[in-house]
Amino acid sequence: MIKLRRSAFLKSAALAVCTAGLLVACGGGSDGGGGADDNVWSVGTEPAFPPFESVGEDGELEGFDIDLMTAIGERAGKTVEFDSLPFDGLIPALQGASIDAAISGMTITEERQATVDFSDPYFKAGLAIAVAEGNTEIATLDDLEGQRIAVQIGTTGAETANGVPDATVSTFDSAPLALQELANGNVDAVVNDAPATLDAIATGNIPGITVVGELLTEEFYGIAMPQGSENVEAVNTALAELIEDGTYAEIYRKWFDAEPPEL
Ligand code: ARG
């Protein structure tokens, strides 16, 4: 069911080759998004954000978001085709309608709501500060003043870090890269979604770091769609059904080994 689509970049590269006439036969295929195929939802995601979305050892996408979106598609009678995109490219892709939706641990924010529509919330999260193990100087947002902070570009973590007075903020294409910068000792802290940072620590993917203090924010993830998308209702109906019939809880337990909180 899950098929990792070529990235939009590879696709345009392939198209360019086709137009150049270097290949005799070029596949037609769905152009993904824009409703070329009514039974397919092209869904963008930035798959370096476990346990929500990542590329498994078998090369297939996996994670809470992947399972949830696939189940939503099934419930709505659609085949979901995932499209790997940079996180900060998801909203532009929705605006250009080159994808039908994006699921990527994306927080519902007022700013984003000005350009895209969101489904009902499907996950409760929040930002947390990570520091090197043994760093006792940093526990709160105020403590980050004047410090070096690494973040993932285009995220709520980046926005929060950018508001810290006198901080030096370095941005990375993915959250693991920002966390690795911290593990390497090149920055003092990372501001990132708590569940993703905790997963990186728990799995041993990023050694030598720890989460400190309280959550900085309460954030809710939503599935983003182009503004005015006709699919918002179908997505919300399917999501509500999955919550109601226990499928959502099953997926939640699989990835978080815990009962889901009230949304
Ligand atoms: N929740 C944060 C935001 O919306 C970070 C999401 C990052 N997601 C990802 N797949 N890299 O900005």
Contact 86 CB / ligand 1 (< 6 Å):
no
Going by CA atoms, what residue is nearest to atom 12 of ligand 1?
Answer: 155
d(CA 161, ligand 1 centre) in Å: 14
Identity of the residue numbered 221: Y
Q: Which two tokens stand for residue 140?
A: 């709160």
172: β partners: 152
189: β partners: 149
Contact 106 CB / ligand 1 (< 6 Å):
yes
Contact 196 CB / ligand 1 (< 6 Å):
no
Q: Which domains does the chain have, with CATH numbers?
A: 13-124+220-256 (3.40.190.10), 127-212 (3.40.190.10)
Specify the DSSP class assigned to residue 258: S
d(CA 105, ligand 1 centre) in Å: 5
Measured between alpha carbons, how far is 172 from 107 in angstroms, rounded to an integer?
A: 18
Using DSSP's 3-state secondary structure scheme, residue 42 falls into strand
pLDDT tens digits in sequence order for the chain, 263 residues long: 344 433 333 333 333 333 333 333 333 334 445 546 789 999 999 999 999 999 999 999 999 999 999 999 999 999 999 999 999 999 999 999 999 999 999 999 999 999 999 999 999 999 999 999 999 999 999 999 999 999 999 999 999 999 999 999 999 999 999 999 999 999 999 999 999 999 999 999 999 999 999 999 999 999 999 999 999 999 999 999 999 999 999 999 999 999 999 88
> Which residue's structure tokens are 């004047």?
146
Contact 188 CB / ligand 1 (< 6 Å):
no
Contact 93 CB / ligand 1 (< 6 Å):
no
Measured between alpha carbons, how far is 8 from 44 in angstroms, rounded to an integer?
A: 10
